[in-house]
Chain A
Amino acid sequence: MSWIDIGPIDDIPLRGARLVKTLIGCIAVFRTAEEEVYAATNSCPHKGGPLSEGIVHGQSVTCPLHNWVFDLNTGEAQGADDGRITTYPVRLEGGRILLDDSAVAQRSAA
């Protein structure tokens, strides 16, 4: 697994998200706490809502279109809704966000 530096953590607001564009779709990178990041597809499986625009709480995000809530650890929809978002390995090193290169590359190549 190799890692790709996408920027400093301070570029994402606390309990917020930013987008990473790839050739066939967008990945949302979430910051849930001072030093905690997650990455997942930006698109809600329900109606394609942009998850990076959702409210981030605990380790979950709520889709801005119809309030589906996803656990960012597992990608599973919470509560009564049924669905899952793809999550991607992401980590922090010295304040920089590193995204799994293969996730980005696979998506680009597909």
Chain B
Amino acid sequence: MKQRLVVIGAGMASGRVLEHLTDAAPDAFDITLFNSEPRGNYNRIMLSPVLSGEKTYEEIITHDDAWYAERGIACRFGEKVEKIDREMKVVEGENGHVPYDKLMIATGSNPFIIPLPGHDLDGVIAYRDLENTQQMMGMGPDNKVVVIGGGLLGLEAAAGMAAHGVDVTVVHIMGHLMERQLDEAAGYLLKKSLEDKGIKICLQANSKEILGQDGKVRALLLEDGTELPCDLLVMAVGIRPNTALAKEAGLATGRGIHVDDQMLTSDPDVYAVGECVEHDGAVFGLVAPLYDQAKVAAQSLLTEDAAFVQKTLSTKLKVTGCDLFSAGDFADGPGREDIVFRDPSRGVYKRLVIEEDRLVGAVMYGDTADGSWFFGLIKDGTSIEEMRETLIFGPAYQGGDTADPLSAVAALSLEAEICGCNGVCKGDIVEAINAGAGDLGAVRASTKASASCGTCTGLVEQVLQVTLGDDFQIPTAQPICGCTDLTHEDVRRLIKGQELKSQAAVWQELGWKTPNGCHVCRPAINYYLLADWPLEYQDDPQSRFVNERKHANIQKDGTFSVVPRMWGGITTPEELRAIADAADKYDVPTVKVTGGQRIDLLGVKGEDLPAIWSDLNKAGLVSGHAYSKGLRTVKTCVGTDHCRFGTQDSTGFGIKLEKILWGSWTPHKLKLAVSGCPRNCAEATCKDIGVVCVDSGYQISIGGAAGMDVKETELLCQVPTEDEAIEVVMAVTQAYREGGKYLDRLYKWLGKVGMDWVKAQVVDDLENRAALVERFELSQSIYRKDPWAEHVRDKAQTYAPIADFTLEAAE
């Protein structure tokens, strides 16, 4: 007698089961198929091409009515199953009971809806089924849509709608797109391609609330206060296995319905397949393992031996023009080595991850032709020992190509600006070279490129080499570190000229040889990015040396020193009491007066930092930045307040300067002093910037030092008023911030650009001075604040150990 099989859910997995079953044993079962959607099986993963208009719904139907009829399958579409009665072996549908001998649960998954306020408004949808797809297809060029979720599904939804001219914004909580499949570099390239398609992308964006009007969605509000207006809001943040029916029926469930290798649940007559199952701790969202499960389930039903084995998966994004490939584990587990290949000119990035001479992961962007070959190597566990050196070039590699150190410059467009001072672009230089300028001097003479501050000299030389080939030999310049062949100056110019606004962008566009830099280049790049793009770039604490990350100076025993700011070196009895109390409370072993007129508390334990800062904050004391490559101190003498020789209010002026400059980051530390008369008690003439007051005004001199090198400052200018002196100091600080090489003190930068150039920029050209001041102020709108207070508020717990077993063991 035929057995009765009931299948709940007509999705891709159960469709495959039915195919296998009816092909192998057409007469084995009487089959009833329930589906709550009013239709049979269609290829759900092809909804994206339907959305973008590349396919129609009819083209993605896998099983039509005739197919079910032919196989004698009783279809109950549009009917929900209310209950499974395992004791009676009956499935209770809305329109009546169906008894079974064997049951197959294929209830799939539900899209996860973030329970934000307003998630139940009209116009807030998931991206899951044909109805959702049709809603999205209803949007046109006059509509705005927000997609929450920068994963596979969210991006396909966004690209599909953008293809119809819809104004789409993707909001993603992580630092880069598709973080589960891609690393930062590939994520950066993907973002760029999508932005080229007109899709706006907000990363590290936390959604706060969905705003509505008359019950309908109006906008998405982000944590930072940004409001993104929209007519439709699509949530594509993940799926949850749909286990409700199984759970109610008392089957074993976890994240999904528990199944064994034969796809059997905890009931020997009930099978489960697809996105609703959990096998060996894993749940499934991609189609390949679902098909494997379907085959195993069909064989198990026919009492054949079969076992489901989880395999390595590969991912491709179904967005035209975004060529990416990811397979295996590329960021998971120890013992790994990376091979990275970047070709900035073609926008290509490839990264292979190798473990014990075997390829375990691959991420590729821009050129994925070798993807399936690499995927094969991963799946088969082939030893790559023999081909390690050339592996990344793919199977077609014939020997030859190596990464070209000039590729970053070769890739620049002719419009790319090389010399910022004189506004000379690559095309001008190439033209001059073709007209006969054969060396640096000739290029300078004919185009003025690198003829002013000179920091772009390296780039001009590379343009010469790219254009002239072997006829031009570049004088050897020191690259930043082993991660790149470019110098600091080259990188600074390219960050500006190419508008590179993230570390991932720098690594990719400038052909970095390592996945994410090293301790030498990371702090430099982090500084360049925040100095050049104060609004767009977010400071990365993990690319900072410990002192700047923890806002305190590390000492040889791993403790820290804490220096509160004393504006202009002026303090009060209240502040001194607060400092003394803090020193007592936190057992500070050494209290020292510094050369910059501050008080240093040495020997504070790392975990006590937030607490001591909080105490000092309460007394009105803020960070003294004694640890920073930034504004340290403005030292003053008492000036006209008390001194019989003082010519100006040097103390008040110093305090004003410090309040303007504090918190700013510079290539190296920046120390100032203001002396009230030429007797110079504040020692202003050995500071980075020194001001000596005279009867007729303020003498501003720069480029002093009293460290490894001892230098006297050189006079920049004398100005009559305090206001103008402040402007000049801000302008020269900004010029140094914009042009200096990381870890060059101001005097070294001055030595490279020359005093004449600085004078021209900040003394003579008033318009340029104003522009420098404006850019400095823009940056200070972000950075002029107390990092101690911020860390006390937001990061205090990161100063404590993540786990402490000393307490547990002591009990």
Interface residues of A (CB under 8 A from B): 4, 6-7, 11-16, 18-23, 26, 29, 33-36, 38, 47-50, 53-60, 62, 64-65, 67, 69, 72-73, 91-92, 97, 99, 104, 108
Given the known inter-chain contacts A20-B805, A54-B519, please indicate yes or no for A48 contacting B331, CB distance below 8 A.
Answer: no
The segment from B259-267, B334-342, B444-452 found at the interface with A is B334-342
Which residues from 639 to 681 on chain B have a C-beta closer than 8 Å to any C-beta of chain A? none
Q: Which residues of B contact A4 (CB under 8 A)?
A: 803
Tell me, yes or no, whether B522 is within 8 Å of chain A by CB: yes
Q: Which residues of B contact A72 (CB under 8 A)?
A: 334
Distance in Å: Cβ of A13 to nearest Cβ of chain B: 6
A6 to B803, CA, bound (A): 6
Are B522 and A21 interface neighbours, CB within 8 A? no
Given the known inter-chain contacts A35-B331, A35-B332, please indicate yes or no for A65 contacting B805, CB distance below 8 A.
Answer: no
Q: Which residues of B contact A99 (CB under 8 A)?
A: 803
Are B334 and A73 interface neighbours, CB within 8 A? yes
A21 touches which one: B333, B334, B338, B804 (CB < 8 A)?
B804
Would you list 8 pairs from A and B whose C-beta atoms are within 8 A, ordered by A residue?
A: A16-B541, A18-B801, A33-B331, A54-B519, A55-B542, A58-B518, A62-B519, A64-B546
Of all chain A residues, the one with the shortest Cβ separation from B482 is A79
Known: A22-B809, A48-B558. 10 other contacts (CB 8 A): A14-B542, A50-B606, A55-B519, A55-B543, A58-B516, A62-B519, A64-B546, A69-B518, A73-B334, A108-B806
B801 touches which one: A15, A19, A69 (CB < 8 A)?
A19
A16 to B540, CA, bound (A): 11
Interface 0/1 of B320-349, CB less than 8 Å to A: 000000000001111111100000000000
Are B556 and A36 interface neighbours, CB within 8 A? no
Tell me, yes or no, whether B802 is within 8 Å of chain A by CB: yes
A84 to B798, CA, bound (A): 27
Are A69 and B798 interface neighbours, CB within 8 A? no
B518 touches which one: A6, A33, A57, A97 (CB < 8 A)?
A57
Q: Which residues of B contact A18 (CB under 8 A)?
A: 798, 801-802
Distance in Å: Cβ of A23 to nearest Cβ of chain B: 5
A77 to B183, CA, bound (A): 26
Are B806 and A64 interface neighbours, CB within 8 A? no
Of all chain B residues, the one with the shortest Cβ separation from A22 is B805
Q: Which residues of B contact A108 (CB under 8 A)?
A: 805-806, 809
Distance in Å: Cβ of B227 to nearest Cβ of chain A: 27
Of all chain A residues, the one with the shortest Cβ separation from B558 is A50
A15 to B556, CA, bound (A): 23
Given the known inter-chain contacts A22-B806, A62-B519, please indicate yes or no for A53 contacting B554, CB distance below 8 A.
Answer: yes
Are B522 and A57 interface neighbours, CB within 8 A? yes
Are A57 and B331 interface neighbours, CB within 8 A? no
Tell me, yes or no, whether B586 is within 8 Å of chain A by CB: no
Of all chain A residues, the one with the shortest Cβ separation from B805 is A22
Distance in Å: Cβ of A66 to nearest Cβ of chain B: 10
Q: Which residues of B contact A65 (CB under 8 A)?
A: 554, 556
A72 to B802, CA, bound (A): 19
Of all chain A residues, the one with the shortest Cβ separation from B795 is A13
Q: Which residues of A contact B809 (CB under 8 A)?
A: 22-23, 108
Q: Which residues of B contact A11 (CB under 8 A)?
A: 798, 802
Top-7 shortest CB links A-B: A33-B331, A62-B519, A18-B802, A6-B803, A55-B519, A53-B546, A19-B801
Tell me, yes or no, whether B723 is within 8 Å of chain A by CB: no
Distance in Å: Cβ of B45 to nearest Cβ of chain A: 24
Tell me, yes or no, whether B175 is within 8 Å of chain A by CB: yes
A7 to B336, CA, bound (A): 24
Are A21 and B803 interface neighbours, CB within 8 A? yes
Tell me, yes or no, whether B514 is within 8 Å of chain A by CB: yes
Residue of B544, B556, B606, B806 contacting most chain A CB atoms (<10 Å): B806
A105 to B183, CA, bound (A): 35
Which residues from 551 to 577 on chain B have a C-beta closer than 8 Å to any C-beta of chain A? 554, 556-558
Q: Which residues of B contact A60 (CB under 8 A)?
A: 518
Distance in Å: Cβ of A31 to nearest Cβ of chain B: 9
Given the known inter-chain contacts A53-B550, A58-B514, please indicate yes or no for A13 contacting B522, CB distance below 8 A.
Answer: no
A37 to B549, CA, bound (A): 20
Q: Which residues of A contact B557 (CB under 8 A)?
A: 48
Interface 0/1 of B502-533, CB less than 8 Å to A: 00000000000011111100110000000000
B558 touches which one: A49, A56, A57 (CB < 8 A)?
A49
A56 touches which one: B542, B556, B806 (CB < 8 A)?
B542
Tell me, yes or no, whether B179 is within 8 Å of chain A by CB: yes
A29 to B517, CA, bound (A): 20
Distance in Å: Cβ of A97 to nearest Cβ of chain B: 8
Of all chain A residues, the one with the shortest Cβ separation from B333 is A36
Distance in Å: Cβ of B206 to nearest Cβ of chain A: 14
Of all chain B residues, the one with the shortest Cβ separation from A61 is B519
Tell me, yes or no, whether B545 is within 8 Å of chain A by CB: yes
Interface 0/1 of B774-804, CB less than 8 Å to A: 0000000000000000000000001001111
A13 to B541, CA, bound (A): 9
Residue of B549, B801, B810 contacting most chain A CB atoms (<10 Å): B801
A47 to B550, CA, bound (A): 20
B804 touches which one: A20, A58, A92, A97 (CB < 8 A)?
A20
Given the known inter-chain contacts A57-B518, A62-B519, please indicate yes or no for A20 contacting B334, CB distance below 8 A.
Answer: no
Q: Which residues of B contact A7 (CB under 8 A)?
A: 802-803
Distance in Å: Cβ of B255 to nearest Cβ of chain A: 9
